[in-house]
Amino acid sequence: MLSGTCIIDSVKEQEWITLITKSKYITRFWYYFRIGYATYLTFIMGYASTLITVYYLAIKNIPILLNVFHDFLPFSIICTIIGVPFSCAIGWLHLKRSSAYTSEADITVESNPYTYKLAPGKEEEAFAPSYVEILRLLSKLLESQKLLSEEEKLRVKELEKKYQILMQGNTVGTPRKKF
């Protein structure tokens, strides 16, 4: 016999599932918005704003430069021809020659939850079970030929235990503490 609280609990559970699903869509939408706005929209607006500001506040007030740039269009074309390679050089220096990009990559890896647990999909469903099975079969083979020391057996068991923890959806390793 079903009691009334079971049905209520079931309804509440469904409401939570719906709320969580909506929350995922909202956070995805927010992420797409931030990427689109920060990467594309503000870039175009910032570039145009900088060109317009420099031309109409600086070039228009300096007669020598006004003789060189009569109109806004030649000024914007020359600035683009100079600015694009210059910006590429700065980007290259940022990625290849500074420690800033290394720090950014470190922070990204540290904040990624899948650094310390299996990613859903092929890692969780195929790769990890395959690794465990290979580990077991190789251990069995080496043990039957008496090629596995006690220390190696312990290491294999420890590794297998870590894979089991990962396959249960838990983490291994010690994630850095967030500030």
Note whether 102 and 159 are same-domain residues.
no
All residue ranges of the chain with pLDDT < 70 are 1-17, 19-20, 176-179
Note whether 55 and 130 are same-domain residues.
no
pLDDT, position 90: 95
pLDDT, position 1: 44
Q: In this structure, what token pair is assigned to residue 135?
A: 């580990």
Residues 98, 101: Cα–Cα separation, whole Å:
7
Note whether 44 and 67 are same-domain residues.
yes
Q: 149 lies in which domain range? A: 122-167
pLDDT, position 10: 59
Note whether 61 and 107 are same-domain residues.
yes
pLDDT, position 19: 65
Note whether 54 and 132 are same-domain residues.
no
Exposure class string for 131-150: b at 16+ Cβ within 10 A, else e = bbeeeeeebeeeeeeeebee
pLDDT, position 47: 94
Note whether 110 and 130 are same-domain residues.
no
Closest CA to 172 of 107, 128, 130, 140: 128
Asked if 82 contacts 51 with a C-beta cutoff of 8 angstroms, the reply is no
Note whether 71 and 126 are same-domain residues.
no
User: Does residue 64 fall inside a structural domain?
Assistant: yes
